[in-house]
Amino acid sequence: MSIFHFALVGIGGFFGSMARFAISRKYNSIEKTLPIGTIIVNLSGAFLLGLLTGAHLDQNYLLFAGTGFMGAFTTFSTLKLETMQLHIGQKKKALILYIGITYVFGIFLAFLGYLTGNNI
């Protein structure tokens, strides 16, 4: 792995984290019960990462878009934090809905993205 590869991941990560911040800030401020911004980010990220993987792209593109952008864009740690916040706040319906939407649709969208990428 060269310095160029690290730069691709870092630059992609910068843009991915900025996109996640903007989306989460916009949509989480609208809906206070359910973290809609994180759901949007993680579900779209699952589809897009599946798409990138299925498309069998060049290593440099995967490092920038897959590892860098998508790695910073999607957020497993925020998912866990918000899950705990819903649990601590005793918002059981929102907690079940959040976990269900994220995992069920996330796996489905990653698979759909992979199939789509495979057919490009």
Q: What is the dihedral of CA 22, 116, 65, 34, to 10 degrees?
A: 30
Q: Residue 18: its pLDDT value, please?
A: 98
> What is the extent of the structural domain holding 14?
3-118
Nearest to 112 by CA among 58, 11, 18, 43: 43
Q: 13 and 75 in contact (C-beta within 8 Å)?
A: no
Predicted confidence at residue 86, as pLDDT, reads 96
Q: Give the per-residue pLDDT at 29.
A: 86
Residue type, 28: N
pLDDT tens series, the chain, 120 aa? 899 999 999 999 999 999 999 999 999 888 788 999 999 999 999 999 999 999 999 999 999 999 999 999 998 899 999 999 999 999 999 999 999 999 999 999 999 999 999 998
The residue written with tokens 């489905």 in the block is: 108
Tally of structural domains, the chain: 1
- Following DSSP, what letter does each residue of 51-115 receive, concatenated? HHHHTT--HHHIIIIIIIIIHHHS-HHHHHHHHHHHHHTT-HHHHHHHHHIIIIIHHHHHHHHHH
Q: Is the C-alpha dihedral spanning 80, 84, 89, 95 positive or negative?
A: positive
Structure tokens at 50: 């599946």
CA distance 50 to 116: 8
Task: Name the nearest CA neighbour of 45 among 95, 100, 107.
Answer: 107
pLDDT for res 31: 79
